[in-house]
Amino acid sequence: MKRPNRGRKISIPEWLDRYTISLLVGLVVLLGFRTWMLRGSLPTFSAQDNPAAFSPCLLTRFLTKTYLVTFNAWLVLFPSNLSYDWQMGSIPLVETIWDKRNLGSIFLFGGIGAIFITSRITVKMRERLLLSMALVVLILPFLPASNLLVTVGFVVAERTLYIPSAGVYILVTHGLHRLRVLSPKATWVCRTSTFFVLTVFVWWTLRRNTVWESRASLFKSGIESVPQNAKVHYNYANLQKDLGNVETAIKHYRIALSLWPDYASAHNNLGTLLSDPVEAEHHFKVAIAVNSYHARAYFNLANLYSKQDKREVAEAFLKRAIDIDPGFAEAYSALASLYAVFGHVNEAEKLHLVALSLSPDNVDALNNYGVFVQNLGREDEAVEFYQRAVRIHPNHTVALLNAARTLRSLKFIDDAEKLYKRALYMEEDPQVMDNLGTLYIKSGRLEEARKLYSKLTQKHGSFLDGKIHYAQLLIQERSFYDAEVLLQSVININATYREAYHQLAILFIETNRTSEGFESILQALRLCHVTDKSCALLYVCHGDLVKDMNDLDTAAQSYTIAIQLDPGIGHAHINLGVIHHLKGRHLQALRHYRTAQNLDPQNPVVLENIEKLKKHQWKKSIRRCAEESECYQTW
Q: What is the pLDDT of residue 618?
A: 64
Question: Distance between CA atoms of 157 and 147, rounded to whole angstroms?
Answer: 11
pLDDT average, residue stretch 225-239: 87
**Interatomic CA distance for residues 186 and 38, integer angstroms:** 54
Q: Is 443 exposed, middle or buried (0-12, 13-18, 19+ CB in 10 A)?
A: middle
pLDDT class for 634, splitting at 50, 70, 90?
very low
Which residues are CB-contacts of 467 (< 8 A; sequence separation ≥ 6)? Answer: 457, 461, 486, 487, 489, 490
pLDDT digits (tens, 9 = 90+) for 551-560: 888 888 888 8
* CA gap 176, 303 in Å, rounded: 67
- Tens digits of residue pLDDT in 198-213: 788 788 788 878 888 7
Cβ neighbours of residue 330 closer than 8 Å, sequence gap 6 or more: 299, 355, 362, 364, 365
* Residue 356 · residue 366 · CB < 8 Å: yes
Alpha-carbon gap, residue 473 to 505, rounded angstroms: 15
CB of 374 within 8 A of CB of 385? no
Q: What percent of the chain has pLDDT over 70?
A: 77
User: How many CB atoms are closer than 10 A to CB 101?
Assistant: 15
Please give the single-letter amino acid code of residue 81. Answer: N
> Which pLDDT tens digit goes with each residue over 180-200?
555 667 667 767 777 787 788
Nearest-angstrom CA–CA distance, 244 and 238: 10
Q: What angle (nearest 5°) sits at the alpha carbon of residue 376, between those of residues 370 and 380?
A: 55
3-class SS at 212?
coil
- Mean predicted confidence (pLDDT) in 118-125: 61
The pLDDT, as a whole number, for residue 633 is 34
469-514 pLDDT, tens digit per residue, is 888 888 888 888 888 888 888 888 888 888 888 888 888 888 888 8
Q: What is the pLDDT of residue 1?
A: 47
Do 380 and 373 contact (CB within 8 A), yes or no?
A: no
- Residue 254: per-residue pLDDT: 92
C-alpha span between 536 and 502 (Å, rounded): 11
DSSP-derived letter for residue 535 is G
Q: Which of 68-72, 287-291, 470-474 has the lowest mean pLDDT?
A: 68-72
Cα dist. 534→438, 475, 524 in Å? 18, 21, 11
Mean pLDDT of 203-232: 82
Q: Coil, strand, or helix at residue 261?
A: coil
Q: Could you tell me the pLDDT band of residue 118, with boundaries at 50, 70 and 90?
A: low
Cα Rg, the chain, nearest whole Å = 39
On the question of pLDDT at 429 being above 90, the answer is no
Phi/psi for 577 (5° steps) reads -65, -40
Strands (E) located in 2-111: none
**Side chain identity at residue 227, one-letter code:** P
**What is the percent of the chain with per-residue pLDDT over 90, rounded to a whole number?**
3
Query: Mean pLDDT across the chain, nearest whole number?
Result: 78
Give the angle subtended at the CA of 522 by the CAs of 516 and 528, to the nearest 5°.
Answer: 145
